[in-house]
């Protein structure tokens, strides 16, 4: 039994009472004072609902179907609204996923900070303001004396997330719920925020429930980890033990992606696509800045960078969705028109794209058959029976049973199945080159692993060339032959995978590599030190 929080047999339900959907199913949780518990699981595992339930709070449409939530002797499942209100913010605080959306745009940060302490009577406004500055300083926010007087839209995402943690600390609560607090941040920003969060909870001995889908991140923050799936607890153990000897198959599978390795490419590299001094603009903003590179036939080139680095713009330019403002793109030595409407049918066929969000990449009003039949009829001369056979063959290529899936509508498929259909649609054109734009980032680990394996197999069978856009370095290690690092619309560094990972030359590449969360316990400390060094090296010489 935890001496701060004990949850027993907690079930949550949503939807109509006659046909409810279980969100949490007889869930147990124990937490001691000052302890940090990690809640890990894939999307839909019920971890956010569990975190909110630990506060006695459920979102609209969700109700407690049974069980106890005992916080320091009070059962929150049965507590009155006013009793809960007295606890919220004062003894249990919450840090939300998107700080930008969770700060009220109409009020200054410091006023939102002071609201809790003043309402709960733990401080007057002046004391609260003074405390805010002290906490902003401890959270390593720039200009801690002044930053609180800004409005949320005037502060960057990483800083807002730290300001929100400071706000959660305002009444020095016994427990903080961190709900995916760094998911929306870039990896390099994530390190600073994680570090500041850990420091402050350690300093005040605050207990925390840290919710995330990222095992590496949670292993830096938590003393113990609970793995969840489908609203149930799969396994709970101290962090070192769950990393070294997980008991359940499901827990082991969570980091399976890190075990894929593509066989090394052999033979001479023959150019298939070349960009010459290519730039692209959104109005006056230069999203691509003089890009030069050559892609080799039959290889996979990974394009890596944080948000805003220009990697998605690069994909659009090559696909013909955005015309370059300078430079040119050569396909097999011949220049490609900037606008897809001016490209030949053969060029359109050769270059295909697979998208990040399979949900929006496929028309939800079409069936699988319609989705695949259309490109087959446009790009090949197949008619009637041969065309139907080709559609079935495509389904077999992506390892989905044609009889079962062809007549389903897109919304009836799972995320991974949709992404496979996206791949089949690209293959339907019989392309030579496929741009993969963050295709696994919206998928759960196991599903992503399946997709990557499929792509590697297809490349070997069909001799495809891939350009793989991603921010996830684990994926890069798994699939790339060549790596290209981008920042601010420029190529920072490029080269063979092994060279980039083992001997990066540029400080930014080093910092990026150091930012990737690792499972071992000392990573965050190392990474913070490295990041500080690399950042000072990157500063204009």
Partner 1 sequence: MTRLQKLILSRLALGILTLFVVSALMFVGIELLPGDLAQQILGQSATPDTLRAFRAELGLDQPPHTRYLDWLSGVVQGDFGQSLASGRKVSDLLGTRLANTMFLAAYAAVIAVPVAVTLGLLAALWRNSIFDRAANIGALSAISMPEFFVAYLLIMLFSIKFGWFPTLARLDTATGLGDALYVTFLPALTLIMVVIAHMMRMTRAAIINVLASPYIEMARLKGVPRWRVVLKHALPNALAPIINVIALNLAYLIVGVVVVEVVFSYPGLGQLLVDAVASRDFPVVQAVGLFFAGTYILLNVAADILSILSNPRLRHGR
Partner 2 sequence: MTLLRTAPPTAIFGMLVLAATLLTGIFAPLVAPYGETEIVGAEYLPWSAEYPLGTDNLGRDMLSRMIYGARNTVGLALLTTGIAFGLGAALGMFAALKGGWVDQILSRAIDVVMAVPPLILALMLLAIIGPSIPNMVGVIAVIYLAPVYRLSRAAAMNVVSLDFVDAAKLRGEGTLWLLRREILPNISSTLVAEAGLRFCFVFLFIAALSFLGIGIQPPTADWGSMVKENATLITFGDVTPLIPAGAIALLTVSINFIADWMLHRASGLKS
Q: Which residues bind partner 1 (CB under 8 A)?
A: 55, 57, 59, 84-90, 93-94, 96, 98, 101-107, 115-116, 119-120, 151, 153-154, 167
Q: Which CB, 298 or 375, lies closer to partner 2?
A: 375
The one among 364, 386, 401, 532 contacting partner 2 by CB under 8 A: 364
CB atoms within 10 A of CB 329: 21
Q: Which CB, 263 or 341, lies closer to partner 2?
A: 341
Angle (CA) 157-159-163 rounded to 5° is 115
Task: Find out whether 40 and 226 touch, Cβ atoms under 8 Å.
Answer: yes
Each residue 417-456 as x (binds partner 2 by CB under 8 A) or -, in order, gives: --------x---x---------------------------
Q: Which CB, 60 or 249, lies closer to partner 1?
A: 60
Sign of CA dihedral 416, 422, 426, 429: positive
Nearest to 148 by CA among 165, 128, 163: 163
Angle (CA) 168-173-175 rounded to 5° is 90
Nearest to 71 by CA among 122, 10, 13: 10
338 binds partner 2 (CB under 8 A): no
| Pairing, β 207-212 against β 175-179 | parallel
The one among 230, 340, 387, 408 contacting partner 2 by CB under 8 A: 340
Each residue 263-302 as x (binds partner 2 by CB under 8 A) or -, in order, gives: ----------------------------------------
363 binds partner 2 (CB under 8 A): yes
The distance of closest approach from Cβ of residue 105 to partner 1 in the complex, given in angstroms and rounded to an integer, is 5
318 binds partner 2 (CB under 8 A): no
The distance of closest approach from Cβ of residue 279 to partner 1 in the complex, given in angstroms and rounded to an integer, is 28
The one among 59, 85, 345, 457 contacting partner 2 by CB under 8 A: 345
362 binds partner 2 (CB under 8 A): yes
The pair of structure tokens assigned to 131 is 């405390």
Q: What is the residue whose two structure tokens read 């609201």? A: 115
Q: Which CB, 260 or 319, lies closer to partner 2?
A: 319
Contact region with partner 2 (CB under 8 A), list: 97-105, 130-138, 372-380, 524-532: 372-380
Exposure of 250 by Cβ count < 10 A (0-12 exposed, 13-18 middle, 19+ buried)?
middle
Contact region with partner 2 (CB under 8 A), list: 328-336, 361-369, 465-473, 518-526: 361-369
The one of partner 1, partner 2, none whose footprint includes residue 88, by CB under 5 to 8 A per kind, is: partner 1
Pairwise CA distance, residues 46 & 59, whole Å: 12
Pairwise CA distance, residues 129 & 123, whole Å: 9
The one among 288, 296, 361, 474 contacting partner 2 by CB under 8 A: 361
b/e code 23-36 from CB counts within 10 Å (16+ = b): bbbebebbbeebbb
Task: Find out whether 146 and 21 touch, Cβ atoms under 8 Å.
Answer: no
The one of partner 2, partner 1, none whose footprint includes residue 102, by CB under 5 to 8 A per kind, is: partner 1
**Where does 270-325 have alpha helices with state H?**
311-319
Q: Which CB, 142 or 240, lies closer to partner 1?
A: 142
157-169 and 125-138 are packed helices; what angle lies between their axes, rounded to 10 degrees? Answer: 130
Task: Find out whether 129 and 118 touch, Cβ atoms under 8 Å.
Answer: no
Contact region with partner 2 (CB under 8 A), list: 69-77, 95-103, 354-362, 457-465: 354-362
Pairwise CA distance, residues 195 & 525, whole Å: 8
382 binds partner 2 (CB under 8 A): no
b/e code 174-199 from CB counts within 10 Å (16+ = b): bbbbbbbbbebbbbbbbbbbbbbbbe
Nearest to 128 by CA among 147, 142, 110, 141: 110
Q: Which CB, 175 or 469, lies closer to partner 2?
A: 469
Q: Which CB, 87 or 237, lies closer to partner 1?
A: 87
The one of partner 1, partner 2, none whose footprint includes residue 250, by CB under 5 to 8 A per kind, is: none
238 binds partner 2 (CB under 8 A): no
For residue 79, the 8-state DSSP code is -
360 binds partner 2 (CB under 8 A): yes
If binding means CB under 8 A, how many residues of this protein chain bind partner 2?
A: 25
Instruction: List, in order, residues 6 or more apart from 337 with CB less than 8 Å away.
Output: 320, 343
Q: Which CB, 85 or 457, lies closer to partner 1?
A: 85
The one of partner 1, partner 2, none whose footprint includes residue 375, by CB under 5 to 8 A per kind, is: partner 2
String of DSSP letters for 162-175: HHHHHHHHTT--SE
The one of partner 1, partner 2, none whose footprint includes residue 216, by CB under 5 to 8 A per kind, is: none
379 binds partner 2 (CB under 8 A): yes
The distance of closest approach from Cβ of residue 211 to partner 1 in the complex, given in angstroms and rounded to an integer, is 14
- Contact set with partner 2 (CB under 8 A): 319-321, 340-341, 345, 348, 352-353, 355-357, 360-366, 374-375, 378-379, 425, 429
């Amino acid at each position: 039994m935890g001496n701060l929080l004990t949850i027993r047999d907690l079930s949550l339900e949503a939807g109509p009472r006659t046909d409810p959907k279980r969100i949490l199913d007889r869930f147990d949780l124990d937490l001691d004072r000052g302890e940090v518990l990690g809640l890990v699981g894939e999307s839909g595992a019920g971890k956010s609902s569990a975190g909110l339930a630990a506060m006695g709070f459920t979102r609209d449409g969700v109700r407690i179907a049974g069980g106890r939530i005992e916080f320091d002797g009070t059962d929150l499942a049965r507590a009155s609204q006013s009793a809960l209100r007295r606890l919220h913010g004062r003894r249990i605080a919450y840090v939300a996923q998107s700080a930008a959306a969770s700060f009220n745009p109409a009020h200054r940060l410091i006023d939102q900070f002071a609201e809790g302490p003043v309402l709960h009577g733990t401080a007057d406004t002046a004391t609260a303001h003074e405390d805010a500055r002290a906490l902003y300083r401890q959270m390593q926010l720039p200009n801690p004396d002044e930053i609180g007087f800004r409005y949320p839209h005037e502060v960057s995402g990483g800083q807002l997330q730290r300001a929100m943690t400071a706000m959660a600390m305002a009444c020095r609560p016994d427990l903080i719920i961190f709900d995916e607090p760094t998911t929306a941040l870039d990896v390099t920003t994530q390190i600073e925020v994680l570090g500041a969060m850990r420091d402050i909870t350690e300093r005040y001995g605050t207990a925390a429930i840290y919710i995330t889908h990222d095992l590496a991140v949670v292993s830096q923050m938590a003393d113990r980890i609970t793995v969840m799936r489908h609203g149930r607890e799969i396994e709970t153990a101290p962090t070192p033990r769950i990393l070294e000897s997980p008991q359940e198959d499901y827990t082991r599978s969570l980091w399976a992606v890190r075990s894929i390795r593509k066989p090394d490419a052999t033979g001479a590299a023959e150019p298939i696509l070349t960009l010459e001094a290519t730039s692209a603009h959104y109005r006056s903003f230069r999203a691509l800045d003089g890009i030069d590179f050559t892609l080799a036939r039959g290889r996979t080139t990974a394009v890596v960078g944080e948000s805003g680095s220009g990697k998605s713009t690069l994909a659009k330019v090559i696909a013909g969705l955005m015309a370059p403002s300078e430079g040119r793109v050569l396909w097999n030595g011949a220049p490609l028109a900037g606008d897809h409407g001016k490209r030949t049918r053969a060029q359109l066929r050769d270059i295909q794209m697979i998208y990040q969000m399979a949900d929006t990449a496929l028309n939800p009003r079409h069936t699988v058959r319609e989705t695949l039949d259309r490109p087959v009829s446009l790009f090949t001369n197949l008619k009637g029976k041969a065309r139907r056979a080709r559609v079935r063959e495509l389904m077999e290529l992506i390892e989905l049973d044609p009889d079962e899936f062809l007549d389903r509508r897109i919304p009836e498929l799972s995320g991974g199945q949709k992404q496979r259909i996206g791949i089949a649609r690209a293959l339907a054109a019989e392309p030579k080159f496929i741009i993969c734009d963050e295709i696994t980032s919206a998928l759960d680990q196991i599903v992503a692993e399946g997709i990557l394996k499929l792509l590697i197999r297809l490349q070997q069978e069909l001799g495809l060339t891939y350009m793989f856009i991603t921010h996830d370095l684990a994926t890069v290690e798994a699939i790339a032959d060549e790596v290209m690092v981008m920042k601010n619309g420029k190529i920072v560094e490029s080269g063979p995978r092994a060279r980039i990972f083992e001997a990066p030359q540029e400080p930014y590449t080093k910092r990026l590599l150091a930012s990737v969360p690792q499972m071992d316990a000392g990573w965050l400390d190392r990474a913070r030190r490295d990041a500080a060094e690399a950042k000072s090296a990157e500063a204009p010489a």
